[in-house]
Every structure is written in structure tokens, then in C-alpha cells.
């Protein structure tokens, strides 16, 4: 009887409006959430697509520094100043070998030899993973990492023009050669092999503990400091970074910053979309509350009469609460189905690039949280609006 | 159960307007369950207000209304479905529902009468076939009878009737009054009736001039 009386009071157009706006808002929020979680490995640098908040920093080589090389090294003061910048998380130095180094390889009876240099960086900054990347003071084996670019230069430049065979990274790592180091009147020969190719650090690297030992053993007494630094940022999209390096005439690998910036922009865009979707949801809640308010105003007399003959505010608002709750739940289920369908469209494509995160948990959790919030808010307001009308009689 | 009024006065009436009233501004006035009270007054003297004050849907009064202690702890809805029944002057019917549905809407809350009993009561007071017509299509007098039947569909300690026969002829009013009186007697309830002039359908114990 009560339902028969109240069914006629619903305003269909407004219910549909609520349903549609909530569906759009919820779908966008859930999709953004799902997309964010799917792309999370990408954004947190677990893949090599948007790589690293770490860059290599050196001083600009100018005509004045050509003559006086000392100016290329970072002083302790400069290092400290850089470390004190808010956007800098950590600074690591490149260590250079201060002894003489040459490498030699024997091939079909011919011996080829070349002068070379070594540097080292803390292992944490290295983008290769190899079990061979270890130096044992009792062993004659010395692992070496060279830049990926060297191999590319050879394969696509030199080998191409000289009609030489190309070399794969696997093949390269099979080649052994001798490394001669000397200094302080001492010398030593090592068996060496290239154990990895770094796409990030543009230098010939040996393990840091080896370099420290060898510098003590064979190197010059004077430590000139470092001419190159590895700098890790808190947030690579920080505008002050470019500004700082420009005013201090420091050279920075900008392309690495760009990808980090892109990740930050992507996060920002995502937040922006979520914010708009939340506003849409808020508007839909306002719409349903206004609609409820209009229903209460239009049917004020009916509600008051119902209350007068003994119906409580709960009895009177129950019908509206049930209708709004069912609409909300159905709407959110529709939004979940829609989001999962859209996810199905993009997930295959994404997983060809990288390992996507988390499954469908974000959508389901998001929908559950949204459902609880909306049910609480809508039911609370519905009860309040009706109580208000009755109390004002 | 008793209803005690202490120094009661509607806020929107001045003391001079209520001077000479048997009820308003009386230090203590008791309505007792099982007795029948008639309250007479001309229009605009606060008859409806008085019943609304007692029923608890109008709070703009000075003074106190005390229901017997154990009854006072009830919620408003329990009060309106178990203790006090009110036949409103403006009837408070729902024009979108039929006469029968209007009564059932109340009875749903109390489960006091069976559908057959309700039908019998409506049949006794309404012309043939009217009980299944929308209230919107009934005359004012017919609506008043529907409201009277509805007021009887609950247990009560007091029945409040606000000008219950204003749109009824003498014979119909007598029929309605008999039905009401029977129910009041059966429940051992008190009866408070307001009217413009004295009416003789009930054996009143006390008559007040408001």
C-alpha cells in the first residue's frame, strides 16, 4: 500500500539522470584506477620503458677547460652543494683508474693490443645483472662492462662499412682477452671477459672494489676526484633540476629526464581525470539528493499525513532508500562490467610491452569502496531530507 | 492512563484570548481513561491546536502536557499506533488510494482489524461500492466516514475526534457515533471530542468550553 502510494512520487527523468551520471563517473574512476594499477610497473621504473630517475652529470667541456683539465673534476664543495639540493636523492661518484691499462687479444697468431681506461660506479647504479660481475682478489679473472653503444657502433657502423661479421651480446661475452695493468713499478695480467652491456652508463666499468684496490696498488698517489657523477632524483620532473644544471654549467643527459617527466605527466593526467570523475560522481550524488528533496517538497502533505497516522521517518524513507540503493548497486555493477570489458581490450596490447600489475583487484576494490560510500551518503541524505520535511510541519 | 495539562496555552494566542477557558492556563487539568470529554468552542479558539498538542504533532505551546509515566517513554510512533488515535479535522486521507486502501494503510501498522472487519465497517457507513473507489472521488461526508473507520483500526487509550461530524447529516452522524462509541467502550478508552456546538451522540461525562 505504502509502496503503491510512493511509487508515483518518483521522478523518472531524475532517476535516469542519476543512473547515467553515476555510471559515467564510476566507470571513469574505476577505469583510471585500473589503468593506473596496470601501468604501475611502468611508472615505478620496474620496466625499461620509462627508465630511471638517475642521470649522469659532468661539467661542460669548454675551450678553457681543454688546456686546464683540473676544472673538469668536481670539488668537494661542489659535491656537497649538489647533495644539498632538495630534488637530489643521492649522489654517487665515478671512480677513475689512476694506473696504466691495456688490453690484448691473440687471434690466429696475431696479437692486437690497445690502451684503455677503467672506471667504476657503485653496483646499485648498474643496469646489468650478471653472476660474473664479481671480483675475487685471489682470482685472475676481471669482469668488464662496456656501453651498449660500443657494440652498436661496431655492428651497425664499423662492421657494416668494413664488411665484417656482426657480433651478438652473447658471442661478445664468450670472447676472453688479457688485461695488463701497471704502475708504481708493479704490473699484473688478468683474464678478462665482457660480462654485460650497459645502456645507461657510458664508460668501461670494472667492479668498484677491484678499482679501489688497484688504485691503491698501482695508481698515482694523488686522487683527482671525479669528473662524472651519478645523480638520483626524488622526482625527475622537478622543474628546478634543469634550472640548477643550467646555471651551474653542468652537462646532463636530458633524454633520460624526458622519460621520467613523461611518467610524471602521465600520473598528473591520471589524477586530473580521476578528479573530474570524482566531480561527476559528486554531481550525481547532488542530483539524487536534490531529486529526493524535490520529491519531499512535492509530497510534503503525503509524508506528513503518513507520519501523523503513525508511520516513522524510517518507514517513509525506506522505499526511496531501497530504490536508490538498488539503482546505485546496479549502476556500479554495470560500471565494473564496462571497465573489465575495456581492460580486456587494452591488456593484451600492454602485456606485449611489459608485465602488467595486479589483475582486476583495483576495479573490484574501488567499486566496493565506492558502493559503501554512496550507499551510506545517499541513505543518510534521503533519511535527513524526509525527516526535515516532517519536522517542519 | 491520564493526560494532564498544566498551564497550557498556545504560543500564538495571547493570555486575554484564552481568558475564561476551562482548559487553557488551568494549573492542572486531567483527562482520565474510560471517561468521555466534550470540548466546545467557536472557530479559531484553538480546538484543533489543543488536540494537536495532546497528539504531539504541534509543539508550539507554553505549559506542560504529562501523559501517565509509563506511556510517556514510548516512541512517537508507538504513541500514535498503540495509545492515542486521532480523527483529524482535515482527515489526512490519501486521495490516490481507495477508501479500503486508506484504512488498510493504517491497519498495516497495527494489525488490529482483519480485512473482513474493515470491509464490514466501511459497508455499514458508506453507500454500496464506494469502499473500492478512490478517496478523491468521494464526497467530503463520505471521506469523513472513512477517516472515522481508520481511527478505529488501532488499540488506543484515548480517541481524539476533531469536529468529527461537521459534514454529516444527523442520522449518518448518529451511525458513525454508535460505531465509535462501541469501539471506545470495548477498549475501555477515553474519548475527547471537539465541536462548534454541543453534540448529543455520546454520553459525555464532562463538557469544557475552550
Are A289 and A311 part of one and the same domain?
A: yes
Q: Which of A225, A254, A283 is the last residue of a domain?
A: A254
Which of A206, A229, A254 is the last residue before a domain boundary? Answer: A254
> In Å, what is the CA distance from A310 to each residue of A20, B55, B122?
36, 11, 21
* Domain identity same for A150 and A183: yes
Q: Which domain holds residue A157?
A: 54-254
Q: Domains along chain B?
A: 2-209 (3.40.50.300)
Which residue is associated with the grid cell 661475452?
A: A173
Number of domains in chain A: 2
As given in the structure block, the three cell numbers for residue B46 are 484553538
Q: What is the C-alpha separation between B72 and B68, in angstroms, rounded?
A: 6
B93 has a chain A CB within 8 A of its CB = yes
Same-domain check for residues A65 and A198: yes
Q: Please indicate, yes or no, whether residues A129 and A247 belong to a single structural domain of this protein.
A: yes
Average pLDDT of every residue of chain B: 93
Q: In the prediction, which pLDDT does A92 show?
A: 85
Unique residue bearing C-alpha cell 480517541: B159
Q: Quick check: A106 and A246 in contact, CB under 8 A?
A: no
CA distances to A11, A383, B48, B186 from B196, rounded to whole Å, are 43, 40, 11, 27
Same domain, residue pair A250 and A285? no
Question: Are A113 and A143 in the same domain?
Answer: yes
pLDDT at A53: 65
Nearest to A1 among B57, B92, B101 (CB): B101
* Same domain for A113 and A60: yes
Tell if the CB–CB gap between A2 and B108 is shorter than 8 Å. Answer: yes
Q: Record the cell numbers describing residue B72, joined without a space.
A: 510517556
CA distance A183 to A169: 32
Mean pLDDT of B157-177: 95
In a shared domain, residues A218 and A70: yes
Domain end position, chosen among A223, A254, A285: A254
Distance from C-alpha of A244 to C-alpha of A132, rounded to nearest angstrom? 38
Rounded CA gap, A120 and B91, in Å?
Answer: 95
CB < 8 Å to B80, chain A = 308-310
pLDDT tens for each residue of B191-204: 999 999 888 899 99
The predicted structure's pLDDT at residue A74: 85
* Distance in angstroms (rounded) separating the CA atoms of residues A142 and A135: 6
A238 and A265 inside one domain: no
Q: Give how far Cα A67 sits from Cα of A29, A71, A116, A158, A250, Å.
A: 60, 9, 22, 31, 18
Matching residue, cell 577505469: A31
Can you say how many angstroms the Cα of residue B116 is from the centroid of all Cα atoms in its chain?
23
And the C-alpha cell for A225? 676526484
- Whether residue A167 is found in the same domain as residue A73: yes
Asked if B89 is an interface residue toward chain A (Cβ–Cβ < 8 A), one would say: no
ipTM over 0.90? The verdict is yes
Put simply, the chain B residues between 145 and 174 with a CB less than 8 A from any chain A CB are 150, 154
* Candidate from B77, B94, B108 with C-beta closest to A302: B94
Neighbours of A336 (CB within 10 A): 22
pLDDT for B30-64, tens place per residue?
A: 999 999 999 999 988 899 999 999 999 999 999 99
Residue of B60, B109, B118, B143 best to disrupt the A interface, most CBs of A under 10 A? B109
pTM reported for the whole predicted model: 0.69
Give phi and psi for A248, each to the nearest 5.
-95, 10
Beta carbons of B24 and B8 less than 8 angstroms apart: yes
Q: What are phi and psi of A75, to 5 degrees?
A: -80, 165
Half-sphere exposure of A366 (CA within 13 A, CB side): 25
pLDDT in tens, B92-118: 999 999 999 999 999 999 999 999 999
Same domain, yes or no: A208 and A273: no
Residues 111-170 of A with CB under 8 A from B: none
Same domain? For A115 and A221 the reply is yes
What is the pLDDT confidence band of residue B24, given thresholds at 50, 70 and 90?
A: very high
- pLDDT means per 10 residues in chain A (393 residues)? 89 91 92 86 54 73 69 83 85 86 83 88 79 86 90 88 86 88 89 87 89 86 76 73 80 67 79 91 91 92 94 94 95 95 88 74 92 94 92 79
Which tens digits make up the pLDDT trace of B110-144? 999 999 999 999 999 999 999 999 999 999 999 99
B7: left (phi over 0), alpha (psi -120 to 50) or beta: left
Q: What is d(CA A283, CA A286) in angstroms, rounded to the nearest whole number?
A: 5
**Beta carbons of B57 and A308 less than 8 Å apart:** yes
- Give me the pLDDT at residue A336, please: 95
- Is the CB of A5 inside 8 Å of chain B's CB atoms? yes
Amino acid at each position: 500500500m505504502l509502496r503503491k502510494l510512493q511509487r508515483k512520487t518518483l521522478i523518472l527523468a531524475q532517476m535516469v539522470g542519476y543512473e547515467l551520471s553515476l555510471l559515467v563517473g564510476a566507470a571513469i574512476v574505476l577505469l583510471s584506477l585500473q589503468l593506473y594499477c596496470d601501468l604501475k610497473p611502468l611508472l615505478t621504473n620496474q620496466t625499461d620503458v620509462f627508465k630511471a630517475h638517475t642521470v649522469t652529470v659532468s661539467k661542460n667541456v669548454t675551450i678553457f677547460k681543454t688546456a686546464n683539465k683540473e676544472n673538469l673534476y668536481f670539488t668537494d664543495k661542489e659535491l656537497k652543494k649538489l647533495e644539498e639540493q632538495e630534488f637530489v636523492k643521492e649522489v654517487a661518484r665515478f671512480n677513475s683508474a689512476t694506473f696504466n691499462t691495456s688490453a690484448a687479444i691473440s687471434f690466429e697468431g696475431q696479437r692486437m693490443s690497445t690502451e684503455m681506461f677503467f672506471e667504476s660506479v657503485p653496483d646499485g647504479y648498474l643496469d646489468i645483472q650478471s653472476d660474473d660481475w664479481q671480483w675475487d682478489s685471489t682470482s685472475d679473472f676481471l669482469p668488464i662492462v662496456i656501453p651498449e653503444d660500443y657494440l652498436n657502433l661496431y655492428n651497425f657502423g664499423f662492421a657494416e662499412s668494413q664488411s665484417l661479421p656482426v657480433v651478438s651480446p652473447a658471442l661478445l661475452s664468450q670472447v676472453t682477452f688479457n688485461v695488463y695493468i701497471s704502475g708504481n713499478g708493479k704490473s699484473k695480467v688478468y683474464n678478462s671477459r665482457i660480462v654485460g652491456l650497459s645502456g645507461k652508463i657510458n664508460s668501461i666499468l670494472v667492479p668498484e672494489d677491484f678499482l679501489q684496490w688497484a688504485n691503491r696498488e698501482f695508481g698515482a698517489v694523488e686522487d683527482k676526484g671525479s669528473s662524472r657523477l651519478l645523480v638520483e632524483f626524488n622526482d625527475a620532473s622537478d622543474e628546478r633540476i634543469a634550472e640548477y644544471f643550467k646555471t651551474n654549467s653542468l652537462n646532463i643527459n636530458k633524454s633520460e629526464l624526458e622519460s621520467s617527466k613523461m611518467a610524471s605527466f602521465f600520473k598528473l593526467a591520471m589524477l586530473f581525470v580521476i578528479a573530474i570523475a570524482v566531480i561527476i560522481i559528486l554531481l550525481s550524488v547532488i542530483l539524487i539528493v536534490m531529486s529526493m528533496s524535490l520529491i519531499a517538497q512535492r509530497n510534503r502533505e503525503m509524508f506528513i499525513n503518513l507520519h501523523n497516522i503513525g508511520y516513522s521517518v524510517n518507514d517513509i524513507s525506506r522505499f526511496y532508500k531501497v530504490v536508490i540503493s538498488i539503482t546505485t548497486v546496479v549502476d556500479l555493477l554495470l560500471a565494473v562490467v564496462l571497465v573489465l570489458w575495456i581492460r580486456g581490450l587494452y591488456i593484451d596490447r600492454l602485456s606485449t610491452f611489459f608485465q602488467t600489475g595486479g589483475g582486476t583487484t583495483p576495479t573490484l576494490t574501488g567499486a566496493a569502496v565506492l558502493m559503501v560510500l554512496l550507499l551510506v551518503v545517499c541513505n543518510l541524505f534521503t533519511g535527513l531530507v524526509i525527516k526535515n520535511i516532517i519536522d517542519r510541519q | 492512563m491520564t493526560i494532564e495539562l498544566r498551564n497550557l496555552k498556545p504560543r500564538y494566542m495571547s493570555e486575554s484570548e484564552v481568558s475564561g477557558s476551562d482548559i487553557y492556563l488551568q494549573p492542572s487539568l486531567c483527562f482520565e481513561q474510560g471517561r468521555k470529554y466534550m470540548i466546545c468552542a467557536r472557530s479559531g479558539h484553538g480546538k484543533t491546536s489543543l488536540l494537536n498538542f495532546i497528539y504531539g504533532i504541534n509543539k508550539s505551546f507554553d505549559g506542560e502536557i504529562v501523559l501517565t509515566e509509563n506511556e510517556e517513554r514510548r516512541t512517537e510512533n508507538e504513541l500514535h499506533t498503540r495509545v492515542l488515535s486521532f480523527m483529524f479535522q482535515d482527515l489526512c486521507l490519501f486521495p490516490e488510494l481507495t477508501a479500503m486502501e486508506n484504512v488498510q494503510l493504517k491497519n498495516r501498522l497495527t494489525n488490529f482489524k482483519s480485512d473482513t472487519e474493515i470491509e464490514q465497517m466501511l459497508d455499514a457507513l458508506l453507500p454500496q461500492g464506494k469502499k473500492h473507489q478512490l478517496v478523491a472521488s468521494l464526497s467530503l461526508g463520505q471521506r469523513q466516514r472513512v477517516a472515522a473507520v481508520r481511527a478505529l483500526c488501532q488499540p488506543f487509550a484515548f480517541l481524539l475526534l476533531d469536529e468529527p461530524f461537521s459534514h454529516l447529516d444527523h442520522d449518518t452522524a448518529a451511525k458513525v457515533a454508535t460505531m465509535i462509541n462501541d469501539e471506545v467502550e470495548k477498549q475501555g478508552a477515553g474519548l475527547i471530542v471537539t465541536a462548534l456546538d454541543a453534540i448529543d451522540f455520546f454520553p459525555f461525562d464532562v463538557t469544557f468550553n475552550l
